[in-house]
Amino acid sequence: MNRFNTARALAGLSAFGFFLAAGLHVSGYRQVVLQAEQGVGCSPLELGALWLAFAAALLVFGVLVVLVALRRISGGRWVLSLAGCFPLITVLLQLRLVGFIPPELTLGAVTVVTLAAALVWPAESSSVLCS
């Protein structure tokens, strides 16, 4: 397996991780809204919207990474690097504000795989823009 195929495989694994994290995040929606109804934090509607917005952001990053892996967009190294920053910042903020919780392991793994794909991705690729 050459470097480019390794990078594409890592990008595919990264996209799977983004989709998995989004699915796990959505699965906790009901519990978070119920806690908000008990007076924890902001209103249930606001917290629910924030919760779903985060899951939507994970899906968008997952789609971008898929497009990179399929060579449908150029600048793969940059896209992967920026996509890897989102879960990294999320994990760092959660560690600082909430402390360690097990779901951070999923986002941490997504970060590592995405940034590894960015490092392995060739600087110049023969990707084409979507037409």
Whole-prediction pTM value? Answer: 0.84
Over the stretch 21-77, which tens digit does the pLDDT of each residue have?
A: 999 989 988 888 888 888 766 788 888 888 899 999 999 999 999 999 998 988 899
- Residue 29: partners with Cβ closer than 8 Å, 6 or more residues away: 48, 51, 52, 55
